[in-house]
Amino acid sequence: MVNVAIIGAKGYAGKELVRLCLRHPEIRLVALTDLVEQPQPVSEQFPEFRGLTELMIEPTDVDRISTQAEAIFLALPHRVSQEYVAPFIHTGRRVFDLSADFRFTRIETYEQTYAIEHKEKELAKKAVYGLAEFNRNKIKDAQLIAVPGCYPTGALLGILPIVRAGVRLDSPIIVDAKSGVSGAGRKPTETTHFPECNESIMAYAVGHHRHQPEIEEKIHEAGGENARDVRLIFTPHLIPMTRGILSTIYLSLAEEVAEQDIARIFQEHYGGEFFIRLLPAGKFPTTKAVTYTNFCDIGWKKVAEHLLIVITAIDNLVKGASGQAVQCFNICYGFPEQTGLV
């Protein structure tokens, strides 16, 4: 059993972590904290935990948590996360950070994208990007795991097999993605407030969403020389459902690639992956089929000689955040990857 603490337990990703950790047979949940002044039962914040746990959400006391827990899940906003990661790492704890703070290889890209200076540059170099299906060998021995963003997870799981296989792509890669409203966190805003977003669909942050550079960096790293100049157009949409992301990805093939070769590439990458479900030819994913699961469903079709469309569906709070964090936790501690996730 591993003693675990969740920081940011009052938010949506934190809540999902509580749900997953409570049913995980190898996790003993010992502390939940957030930006609260007085301790309060987690079941008061989230009534669905009534009868399942007596744990309180408490103020965040790093020293106390470090003595109680061996593994720390951080579900805090970017910028804030940096402040907490360092002290936990320095006391030897293992940290799974759900924010964007440690996801970038190029710190300059992070600083430009989030318009802040990174305060933990040395630490950032040690972080491992927690895209489990592509990075498990590094995740296994890492002390700091940067859990990928929700949109990047949906996009990269569709794109990376093709890029890794050395298929040359023409610019741009186009990702048209639709997310449920929980992707924006728990606090409603003018655009995420129910009467504003219900029965409506809108594109937002067109051409400058903060996940675009994250997706682009990982494509360039995976594809090496072949992908160095490939640009990404990423258009996110807010749609009136609670959870889920559907990503429709347009890949312009710079060379002739036969359908059976595409099928072989996906099969070679994902044939042995429990959490990736490749759909039969002619079938395409739905967010409903992956809700509350850690699965990523993938369908694809070549629609012209040089155009491949790949469609992925994930639950943004599970495979796109907390479930993927638990998958990384399982890899780090040597538990089967499905533990607590099925």
Ligand X SMILES: NC(=O)c1ccc[n+]([C@@H]2O[C@H](COP(=O)([O-])OP(=O)(O)OC[C@H]3O[C@@H](n4cnc5c(N)ncnc54)[C@H](OP(=O)(O)O)[C@@H]3O)[C@@H](O)[C@H]2O)c1
Catalytic residues: 150
Q: Does 318 bind ligand X (CB under 6 A)?
A: no
Site string for ligand X, 321-340 (x = CB under 6 A): x-------------------
Does position 60 interact with ligand X (CB under 6 A)? The reply is yes
| Nearest to ligand X of 73, 335 (CB atom) | 73
Stretch (H or E) spanning 159 = helix 150-164
50 vs 44: CA distance, rounded Å: 8
- From CA 175, how far away is CA 311, in angstroms rounded? 9
Angle in degrees, CA 223, 104, 151, rounded to 5:
75
**Contact pattern from residue 12 through residue 51 relative to ligand X, giving x for each residue in contact according to CB under 6 A and a dash for the rest:** xxx-------------------xx----------------
Angle between helices 323-333 and 12-22 (to 10 degrees): 50
77 contributes a contact to ligand X by CB under 6 A: yes
Q: Which residue in the set 18, 98, 144, 169 belongs to the binding site for ligand X (CB under 6 A)?
A: 98
Selected binder of ligand X within 52, 185, 277, 301 (CB under 6 A): 185
Q: What is the DSSP secondary-structure string of 72-120? A: EEE---TTHHHHHHHHHHHTT-EEEE-SSTT--SSHHHHHHHHTS--S-
Quick one: 61 or 229, whose CB is closer to ligand X? 61
- Does residue 78 belong to the site contacting ligand X (CB under 6 A)? yes
User: Does 257 participate in binding ligand X (rule CB under 6 A)?
Assistant: no
- Between 11 and 285, name the residue whose CB sits nearer to ligand X: 11
Q: For residues 181 and 238, what is the distance between their CA atoms, to the nearest angstrom?
A: 6
The residue to which tokens 């040089």 are assigned: 306
Among 5, 19, 82, 99, binds ligand X (CB under 6 A): 99
List 85, 123, 150, 328, residue binding ligand X (CB under 6 A): 150
> How does DSSP assign 252-281, residue by residue?
EESS---HHHHHHHHHHHHTT-TTEEEPPT
- Which of 316, 319, 327, 341 binds ligand X (CB under 6 A)? It is 316
Q: Is 288 in the site for ligand X (CB under 6 A)?
A: no
The DSSP code for 55 is P
CB of 324 to ligand X, least distance (A): 8
The answer to whether residue 182 forms part of the interface with ligand X (CB under 6 A) is yes
Q: Which of 27, 139, 149, 291: binder of ligand X (CB under 6 A)?
A: 149
Smallest gap from residue 142 Cβ to ligand X (A):
18
Residue located via tokens 């977003």: 197
Please report whether residue 125 would count as binding ligand X according to CB under 6 A.
no
> Can you say how many angstroms the Cα of residue 127 is from the centroid of all Cα atoms in its chain?
15
Instruction: Tell whether residue 215 is a contact of ligand X (CB under 6 A).
Output: no
Closest approach of Cβ 83 to ligand X, in Å?
7
Helix axes 107-114, 211-223, angle to 10 degrees: 160
Query: Is residue 241 within 8 Å of 205, Cβ to Cβ?
Result: no
Nearer to ligand X, 308 or 321 (CB): 321
In whole angstroms, what is the distance from residue 211 CA to residue 253 CA? 23
Q: Does 183 bind ligand X (CB under 6 A)?
A: yes
Q: At CA 143, angle to CA 14 and CA 162, rounded to 5?
A: 80
* Sites of contact with ligand X (CB under 6 A): 8, 10-14, 34-35, 60, 75-78, 80, 98-99, 149-150, 182-183, 185-187, 316-317, 320-321
